[in-house]
Amino acid sequence: MNPKVAEYIRKKENWQKELETLRAVFSDLPVEETIKWGAPTYVYNGKNIVGLAAFKNYCGLWFFQGALLKDKHKVFINAQEGKTKAMLQWRFYSLEEIDKNLIKEYVLEAIENVKLGKEIKPDRTKKELIIPIELQQEINNNKEFKKKFEAFSNSCKREYANYISDAKREETRLRRLQKIIPMILSGAGLNDKYKNC
């Protein structure tokens, strides 16, 4: 067992018992326990199987290829409808809801899918980059900003563009623009702090 996972659980005071119970499910399974994206992750044969995390109102498991599982007990939800195709989440709001045998059944099915080579691959088709007006005006009016922005990868540019265009109100879009200008000028991606955890 990975000491960093024990440390993660120790820091989640409100959900310690639940997280320890969930972690125990994996103790006799042929998986490697590690930390990815700042959270405990269980890996089989180099493939991410399940992630473990706690939030304010619940703790849960993330099955990376959950959409391939039969889900006979209808435990899964898609926490990012429209964004994720494969990953599904199983939430727990109390210790009593955690059925270790049932969870193990799902994990073993996920491991079997890896053995069989079943996998939903992410859609790598090029998504169109749509620059919102507010961002385009800054690009047009600020040569240094334009140079830095154009140096980013398309996915990084898209993250910034979506960050602004996702705001419904103009004042929010302008506030977001002011927030990202120094980030772009320093060459930082919008989500860099979450990457390579």
CATH (domain of 111) = 3.90.1150.200
Q: Which domain holds residue 167?
A: 133-194
Say yes or no: 32 and 88 in one domain.
yes
Say yes or no: 150 and 183 in one domain.
yes
Taking only the tens place, the pLDDT of each residue in 114-164 is 999 998 887 666 677 889 889 999 999 999 999 999 999 888 898 899 999
What integer best gives the mean pLDDT of the chain? 89
Taking only the tens place, the pLDDT of each residue in 67-106 is 999 989 999 988 766 667 788 999 999 999 999 999 999 9
Phi, psi of 51 (to 5 degrees): -110, 155
d(CA 1, CA 34): 8
Residues 42-48: what's their mean pLDDT? 94
**Does residue 127 lie within any of the structural domains?**
no
**Does residue 161 lie within any of the structural domains?**
yes
Q: How many domains does the chain have?
A: 2
Query: Amino acid identity of 89?
Result: Q
